[in-house]
Structure 1
Amino acid sequence: MLDNRFQTVLVRMMASLGLIAMACNPGGNDTAGVTDGATSTSTDTSETGTPTATEPTSTPTSTTDGSVSGTESSTTTGEPTTTDSETQSVDPTDGTSTTDGTATSEGTSTTDGTSTTTTDGTSTTTTDDTTTGSTSDSSSSTTNEPPDCVPTEDFEVTCDLIDNDCDGEIDDVDVGADGICDCLSIGILGDTGYAPSANFEAWLEAQGSAVTRTLLAGNPGAVTPALLANYDLLIIDRIERQLSPEEAAAIEAFVKEDGRGLITLIGYNFDNLNPAPERDRANSVLTPFGLAYQGGYFGNGVTPTFDQNHPISMGIIDVNFAGGISPADTGNQGTSEVFATIQGTNAGIAHQTADQGGRVIVWGDEWITFDSDWLGYADVQDFWVNMFAWAKPKDFCGQPM
């Protein structure tokens, strides 16, 4: 018991000596005059204006890296502890926590709900659940992307491959309301047939479409990707030679890969004894699609029966068919639908490519381009309108029916 009391008295004497030393050195605010191992505690005069002495307690706080920081009334660094609970930690490294709720672990978390976490970047989150900043190794951030299309009230009606009115359709311009897109660029391969066909091309141009004819006779290698890039639709008219494998491949890519349209015609020679040359020339275009003309000439001067449920033939009745060759799907490479027949024989096939690219219409005759039929049959123009609407690129000049 005596030893314990002696130790208590000794501690109090040492504390008194510390106070005396502070009184002798009023300007000191650090550990000068303090016995080794002791701590000093005072009230921050900037906060209260009046210094007060307290019991010299020592309640160490352990940090994750083994360093020690003082609590509200003591600190192992000898720095004065203030009444606003501000604490100076010994080693502000990863894992250090302080009494005001601030924790540092590759970042800082505070009691007001604000947290900052740093990994390979920085993320700051506030109490209203908004993210004020975020970075990573790639320095990416989340922003509001502008809309893909911004319509304007005064946009110019033009063929510029832009959806100016933001309706999801490119260049859907039809000023004359004739059903044919004014922006279509149509290429015709081959010569005209034996009968005049000026009305057909003149009508196409009158609708606003650009029309260019390319002759193949004596023009080897004329069909190239560069040539076809100028067109949205391609019409095979009277081609007087077979296409080379390279030319056929260019048309195949034009339809399957570029999503363009192809319409083929036949029946120019009308030679029942030898239909093979004309069939072979046309089939050099169709073979890559698994399509072909088969048999000899038929249907001289008759009107086909049109499927009124198909978009191409809907509303079509009066169209001439004079000595054509029947089309067929021989390769099953996509989806083919017969939209017109003559006495049970195919007169017209609509083909969608297997990769959902472009479309092919195989019509078994050529008279729909001749002036005589252009003026003498009621539905020829409407038939062309329906074919263009179905075969054109799907996202261009409105949506197909």
Structure 2
Amino acid sequence: MTRHHFATRFCAVLASFWLPVIACSASGGGGEGNTAGNGAGGQSTSGAGSSSSTGSDDFDDDFGGDFGLTTSGSGGPSQADAGHQTTCDDAGNCTCINIASIGHEGVWGPCSSDSTTALQNWLNTQSTAQVDNYNMEKPTLTPEFLAKYDVILLQWMVTKGVQNDDGAPWQFTADEVNALKDWVNNGGGLIALSGYQCNGQGCTVHDVTATNQLLSFTDIQFNADGVLDPAQNGCPNCNCWGGPVPVGGPLPGSVGTWNQDTPIGKDIQSVGAYVARSIKSTTAIVDCTDGRNNFAVHEEVGKGRVVAYGDEWVTYSGQWLGTASCLNPQMFTDPNSPCYQRSAAQVFQIPQFWYNAVKYAASSVECFTIEDPAIVK
């Protein structure tokens, strides 16, 4: 397996689609697609990073600072992250947080033909984070494997992961679950997504099986349902942003509210979701709900932190870029169009969602910070 790490900064590219304009630091049954097509799964990689140290739970401290590395000037740990290993390449690109994305990426998205490359690029080049993908074969969760990472992102953990064919869910041993439990309790951060395929109508939901197994030591479990279905919710103008239901916010057809008093919901009005899984919990803090179904929750587990969101549409490039093959860009600039200034990049706070989620999960890594008008701190 090879490392998937972009070495150049993403400022110019991100500025072309991220509104407002940014200023960068120089440092199986029916699927959930809404047309037809094929998505990109990315490449399988492995990599080594550094283990995290425990850090402050202070919310205000976690959400301030400069998006770039607070370095000691030698490639070693910064004063803000004493004991945390920072690495820099010959070009001066520095990494202070290591993320493992485990499971297949989504293969639907706008026009049922989207990829998740915008998210991967943002994390690998716009941030001081580096992502290693384990998307083709299940990795073995040992203490040694987990020690390389600060945050683990749980995605579509199935054997096939193609449109209309999940394959069997990955199975983890009791030792692997216990290793993950110990890693989180000692300060690791876990972000779990769901909703990759199947609307729950006459098909079997596979994307919750492995995820719920790995979350068994938490208060969080995904339900095997299909909430936030545009066909059932009714969603005028959802075609403007590629089909998903607006979760939160003032848009017509929107569902639920983001809790502005939580580290995950803060400064988010709306993101998109297309056939999501509701979340079952009793003590976890709810970040987004419609009063009946919880769509996002988080909790502290020992010294670590866990975030769960019931859909994968926050990973799709079309939601970051506001572009897709079936969307005419003129409809976003025509004042007479119902989609005028309503592309996904204009109406959803996808970057804010990921900044909030990663920043919260990576509680021990203070050098993951941002200075950007598109991100509210």
TM-score range, shorter-chain basis? Answer: 0.5 to 0.7
Matches within 5 A, 1:284-363: 284-300=213-229, 301-304=244-247, 305-329=257-281, 335-342=283-290, 344-353=292-301, 355=302, 357-363=303-309
* Per-residue deviation, 1:341: 1.4
* Match of residue 192, structure 2, among 243, 255, 264: 264
Are the structure 2 counterparts of residues 370 and 155 from structure 1 closer, same or farther at C-alpha, using a change threshold of 3 Å? closer
* Match of residue 174, structure 2, among 228, 245, 250: 245
Give the TM-score, by structure 1 length.
0.52
- Rounded to whole Å, the distance in 1 between the matches of 2:74 and 2:156 is 32
- 1:204 corresponding residue in structure 2: 123
Are the structure 2 counterparts of residues 279 and 395 from structure 1 closer, same or farther at C-alpha, using a change threshold of 3 Å? closer
Is residue 233 of structure 1 aligned with residue 176 of structure 2?
Answer: no
* Per-residue deviation, 1:320: 0.5
For the Cα contact (< 8 Å) 1:242–1:282, is it kept in 2?
no
* Match of residue 194, structure 1, among 107, 116, 134: 107
* Per-residue deviation, 1:163: 4.2
* Per-residue deviation, 1:397: 3.0
- Rounded to whole Å, the distance in 1 between the matches of 2:85 and 2:217 is 30
* Per-residue deviation, 1:246: 2.0
For the Cα contact (< 8 Å) 1:159–1:183, is it kept in 2?
no
Query: Which amino acid letter does the alignment assign opposite residue 304 of structure 2?
Result: G
- Rounded to whole Å, the distance in 2 between the matches of 1:348 and 1:254 is 22
Query: Which amino acid letter does the alignment assign opposite residue 380 of structure 1?
Result: I
Identify which range, 385-394 or 241-250, moves more after superposition.
241-250
1:303 match: secondary structure: strand
- Rounded to whole Å, the distance in 2 between the matches of 1:245 and 1:216 is 22
- Rounded to whole Å, the distance in 2 between the matches of 1:380 and 1:351 is 21
Matches within 5 A, 1:142-157: 156-157=72-73
After TM superposition, the runs of 4+ consecutive aligned structure 1 residues lying more than 4 A away are 167-173
Are the structure 2 counterparts of residues 253 and 171 from structure 1 closer, same or farther at C-alpha, using a change threshold of 3 Å? closer
1:362 match: secondary structure: strand
Structure ranking higher on relative contact order (CA contacts 8 Å, 6+ apart): 2
Q: Deviations over 1:250-274 (max 9, x none)?
A: 21111012x0100000011124123
Is residue 185 of structure 1 aligned with residue 98 of structure 2?
Answer: yes
Identity of aligned residues (%): 24
- Rounded to whole Å, the distance in 2 between the matches of 1:350 and 1:381 is 18
* Per-residue deviation, 1:188: 0.5
- 1:9 corresponding residue in structure 2: none
- 2:210 corresponding residue in structure 1: 281
Are the structure 2 counterparts of residues 364 and 215 from structure 1 closer, same or farther at C-alpha, using a change threshold of 3 Å? same
Query: What's the RMSD between the two structures over aligned residues?
Result: 2.8
Q: Deviations over 1:137-165 (max 9, x none)?
A: xxxxxxxxxxxxxxxxx9744653x343x
* Per-residue deviation, 1:396: 4.2
- Rounded to whole Å, the distance in 1 between the matches of 2:179 and 2:289 is 30
For the Cα contact (< 8 Å) 2:270–2:349, is it kept in 1?
yes
Is residue 364 of structure 1 aligned with residue 305 of structure 2?
Answer: no
Give the TM-score, by structure 2 length.
0.55
Q: What is the total number of aligned residue pairs between the two structures? A: 229
2:207 match: secondary structure: helix
For the Cα contact (< 8 Å) 2:129–2:368, is it kept in 1?
no
Bigger Rg, which one: 1
Are the structure 2 counterparts of residues 158 and 349 from structure 1 closer, same or farther at C-alpha, using a change threshold of 3 Å? farther
Query: Which amino acid letter does the alignment assign opposite residue 279 of structure 1?
Result: V
* Match of residue 388, structure 1, among 358, 372, 375: 358
| Structure number having the greater strand percentage | 1
For the Cα contact (< 8 Å) 1:171–1:397, is it kept in 2?
no
2:181 match: secondary structure: helix
Runs of at least 5 residues in structure 2 that lack an aligned partner in the other structure: 1-69, 89-93, 109-114, 159-169, 230-243, 248-256, 323-343, 370-376
Q: Deviations over 1:37-82 (max 9, x none)?
A: xxxxxxxxxxxxxxxxxxxxxxxxxxxxxxxxxxxxxxxxxxxxxx
For the Cα contact (< 8 Å) 2:284–2:297, is it kept in 1?
yes
